[in-house]
Amino acid sequence: MEKTLAMIKPDGLRGNYTERIKGAIVESGFRILEERIVELDEDRASRFYAEHSSRSFFPNLVKYMTSGPVCIMVLEKQNAIADWRALIGPTDSVKAKATHPNSIRAMCGLDSEKNCVHGSDSLLSAQREISFFFEEETES
């Protein structure tokens, strides 16, 4: 069975969307295998989004991701990676509201930065991101 990493970003937690998001997750047939609230510091947020480090929005992205706690979940289901990406909708929440009105980002995202949730975009990123949160801290 496939696993993916899902995250409710700081705006999602602040806006009290956690229960609605978890309801949508379970209704869509995912099993929540792990769940943890963490606070990312600058170093950890930068490493998580390292692939975007040269983008102009990167400093703001790090600020946003360190602005409050996030909820990390490991979701399991057949086709979990693509299905979770489909359920969250497009990166830009304004576009999500227009084209994917039933998506999670349409429900609780604000724009292309504050988009409420994250989902791994490939098998490789799912493996990297799950171990980033659930194995890394036991290594040292």
Q: Which residues bind ligand ATP (CB under 6 A)?
A: 52, 57, 61, 91, 112-113, 115, 118-119, 121
- Shortest Cβ 119–ligand ATP spacing (Å): 5
Known binder of ligand: residue 36?
no
Task: For ligand ATP, give the closer residue by CB, 17 or 140.
Answer: 17
Task: For ligand ATP, give the closer residue by CB, 93 or 138.
Answer: 93
Catalytic residue, candidates 6, 83, 118, 133: 118
Query: Which of left, alpha, beta for 116 (phi over 0: left; psi -120 to 50: alpha)?
Result: left
- Shortest Cβ 109–ligand ATP spacing (Å): 9
Q: For residue 77, list its beta bridge partners.
A: 2
Please choose, from the candidates 24, 2, 3, the residue with its C-alpha nearest in 3D space to the C-alpha of residue 12. 24
CA quadruple 63, 64, 65, 68: dihedral positive or negative? positive
Calpha distance 130→107 (Å, rounded): 25
Task: For ligand ATP, give the closer residue by CB, 31 or 52.
Answer: 52
H or E element, residue 70? strand 70-77
Token pair belonging to 124: 């490789």
- The answer to whether residue 118 is catalytic is yes
- Shortest Cβ 57–ligand ATP spacing (Å): 4
For the annotated catalytic residues, the residue numbers are 118
Which residues are documented as binding site for ATP? Answer: 9, 57, 85, 91, 105, 115
